[in-house]
Amino acid sequence: MSDMLLGLKNCCCSIKNDEAEYLTGSADIVCEVLDIDDEWIKIFYTDRTGKRVVKVERVDSILSVKIYHS
């Protein structure tokens, strides 16, 4: 896995998978990367209804990442 992906831990970002879908379901919903390893990425976000969601996705499905700095 790329060192760049390892550097995403604790970053706020938007992530697209290989099906060109955002992991959060929308480009307007930003996630925080909780953990990442060679195979999986674990993210956290709050959806439009205010529900807190934790999602785990395979790293090899990541197509692009947009990082937001505060």
pLDDT in tens, 14-55: 999 999 999 999 999 999 999 999 999 999 999 999 999 999
Q: Residue 56: is its pLDDT beyond 90?
A: yes
**Overall number of domains in the chain:** 1
What's the confidence (pLDDT) of residue 21?
94
Please give the Cα distance from 70 to 39 (Å, whole number): 28
Question: How far out from the chain centre does Cα 38 lie?
Answer: 15
Please give the Cα distance from 19 to 36 (Å, whole number): 20
CATH of the domain at 17: 2.30.30.100
| Domain range for 30 | 3-68
